[in-house]
Amino acid sequence: MSITVSPSVSAPQARQKKAILLTIDGIPLYVYAVSLASILTIVGILWDISWHTTIGRDKFLSPPHILIYMGAVFAGLFSGIQVLWNTFKASAAAKKGLVKIWGFFYSSLGALFCIWGAIAMLTSAPFDDWWHNAYGLDVVILSPPHFLLALGMLFLQFGACVSISKYLNRIENDQVAESMIKTYWIRNNIRQKRILRTLLVIAAASFLCMVCTLFTEFVDRRAQHTGLFYQVTTAICMLLLPVFGRALRTKWAMTSVAFGYFLIAGLANWILQLFPAVPKLGPILNPVTHYQSLQFPLLLFIPAIAADLLMQKVKGNDWKKAAITSAVFVTILLIVQYPFSEFLVESPLARNWFFGSNAWYYGANPEWEFRYKFRSDEVEPFASILFGALKAIIIGFFIGRLSLRWGKWMQSIQR
């Protein structure tokens, strides 16, 4: 069965229609492809950062770059095929559930985002190579070509989330409309929902991980004794977790996405360290022999558990939910990350394969006096941090309310 049908077509009618796209368990193949592309891009980025920290800028088509652009090709190619198929093969009824572009092509909304993202990512590749040849090594993370690449990856990952949400919404709506349907169809429906929710968690967790990586400067373990860390982290999480919480429609949706982020970032660290690598670009002040890990991921799943519980228990409008969720999220984030960051920076127990606090850039002096302790400018008075956390609660309240509204839009996607 293909679920690539017009929203005006009922479930029994849909079962009688010929599949318009290659499907697996009734879900179009391109949905799996864009979900895979979403995680390929973030894994490639994490690997690339470790590559630069360990090896330096070796060559344009390094393995991490190939993985990143493979994600772009996957998403762009499969989404493009979907557009062409819908344009030339889809029935008139099916086209009613699609977006018409340039007065001729028919596409799903998610596929459009993925195509735009893929084009931006692939365009950034020669731009980045020219930039390095013209200006040398980057002195900032978001140089113009990197900004274009980051924008493309975010579009691609969001497009994957939209593509998956479209089919999840249709199944939810069909189940309500066809409550008296035969049992065998209900079982198949449940299986499809499980697959789609798993794919959505993968795409959403990749999206969250990408945003956290882009804001590394503000969420680094050495920044967690400042009020700004709690404001930036709260803004990121209160923007992304509630929207995907609603899109997933499960009790522990935000926890699943936050834990998915933890696994992606954590596994990248733990696996990369197992492989040998040496610097190829001087000066070499720290002669490493294996890939250096990135920072240990934030424990966002802990405040996310509380946020999920509140969403289940709190009655009232979204303004009330946003206010309470923001306050509890920031409070737990402060209780968890403040002492944990001190452990990561200063404790000898954190200098191992699991926590990775002994990882160090090959071009930095390993004998730096502040390698395993905070500098004075990195630690604010606790009263200042509390004031910063209060501002974070206010920021989280407004952004959380926006995210909940965004979540309702995600639940309504049918195209």
Domains (range + CATH), the chain: 1-214 (no CATH), 218-415 (1.20.1450)
* Region of 276 on the Ramachandran plot (φ > 0 left; ψ -120 to 50 alpha; else beta): beta
pLDDT single digits (tens) 333-353:
999 999 999 999 999 999 999
Q: What SS3 state is found at 226?
A: coil
pLDDT category, 173, cuts 50, 70, 90?
confident
Six token digits for residue 213: 């990586």
**Residue 10 pLDDT exceeds 60:** no
Report the pLDDT value the prediction gives residue 137, as an integer from 0 to 100: 61
Please measure the distance between the N-terminal and C-terminal CA atoms of the chain and give it in whole angstroms: 19
* Region of 249 on the Ramachandran plot (φ > 0 left; ψ -120 to 50 alpha; else beta): left
**Residue 269 pLDDT exceeds 60:** yes
Report the pLDDT value the prediction gives residue 98, as an integer from 0 to 100: 79
Q: What is the dihedral of CA 175, 190, 160, 15, to 10 degrees?
A: -60
- Rounded Cα distance between 409 and 109, Å, is 13
Lowest mean pLDDT among 101-105, 192-196, 266-270, 293-297: 101-105
Name which residue leads in pLDDT, 184 or 208. 208
pLDDT category, 89, cuts 50, 70, 90?
confident
Name which residue leads in pLDDT, 119 or 146. 119
Greatest CA span in the chain, whole angstroms?
71
**Residue 176 pLDDT exceeds 50:** no
27 bridge partner residues: 24
pLDDT category, 174, cuts 50, 70, 90?
low
Q: What SS3 state is found at 290?
A: strand
Nearest to 117 by CA among 14, 173, 40, 64: 40
What is the helix (H) or strand (E) element at residue 23, kind and residue range? strand 23-24
- Rounded Cα distance between 287 and 13, Å, is 65
Contact 82, 30 (CB under 8 A): yes
pLDDT category, 374, cuts 50, 70, 90?
very high
Name the percent of the chain in helix, strand, coil, to the closest 5. Answer: 70, 5, 30
Report the pLDDT value the prediction gives residue 139, as an integer from 0 to 100: 53
Contact 167, 411 (CB under 8 A): no
- Rounded Cα distance between 97 and 182, Å, is 25
Report CA 371 to chain centroid distance, whole Å: 30
Look-up of token digits 């905070």: 374
Contact 209, 267 (CB under 8 A): no
Q: Interhelix angle for 253-272 vs 301-313, to 10°?
A: 170
Six token digits for residue 162: 């939209």
Six token digits for residue 188: 């198949």
Mean pLDDT of all residues in 302-307? 96
pLDDT category, 58, cuts 50, 70, 90?
low
Report the pLDDT value the prediction gives residue 21, as an integer from 0 to 100: 57
**Residue 259 pLDDT exceeds 60:** yes
Q: What SS3 state is found at 99?
A: strand
- Rounded Cα distance between 29 and 133, Å, is 39
**Residue 386 pLDDT exceeds 50:** yes
pLDDT category, 141, cuts 50, 70, 90?
low
**Residue 13 pLDDT exceeds 70:** no
Lowest mean pLDDT among 146-150, 153-157, 230-234, 261-265: 146-150
Contact 354, 270 (CB under 8 A): yes
The pTM of the full predicted model, rounded to 2 decimals, is: 0.88
Look-up of token digits 């309310």: 401
pLDDT category, 26, cuts 50, 70, 90?
confident
Q: Average pLDDT of the chain? A: 86
- Rounded Cα distance between 386 and 227, Å, is 7
Say what percent of the chain tops pLDDT 90. 58
Say what percent of the chain tops pLDDT 70. 89
State how far the alpha carbon of 73 is from the alpha carbons of 5, 66, 84, in Å: 26, 10, 16
Report the pLDDT value the prediction gives residue 157, as an integer from 0 to 100: 94
Kind of pairing between the strands at 99-101 and 27-28: unpaired
Lowest mean pLDDT among 23-32, 33-42, 389-398: 23-32
**Contacts with 46 (C-beta within 8 Å, 6 or more apart), sequence order:** 209, 213, 264, 265, 268, 269, 272, 294
- Rounded Cα distance between 9 and 310, Å, is 37
Name which residue leads in pLDDT, 322 or 131. 322
Mean pLDDT of all residues in 398-415? 91
Report the pLDDT value the prediction gives residue 316, as an integer from 0 to 100: 80
- Rounded Cα distance between 388 and 384, Å, is 6
Six token digits for residue 5: 């049908």
Six token digits for residue 297: 């991921």
pLDDT category, 12, cuts 50, 70, 90?
very low
- Rounded Cα distance between 232 and 216, Å, is 10
Phi, psi of 100 (to 5 degrees): -90, 125
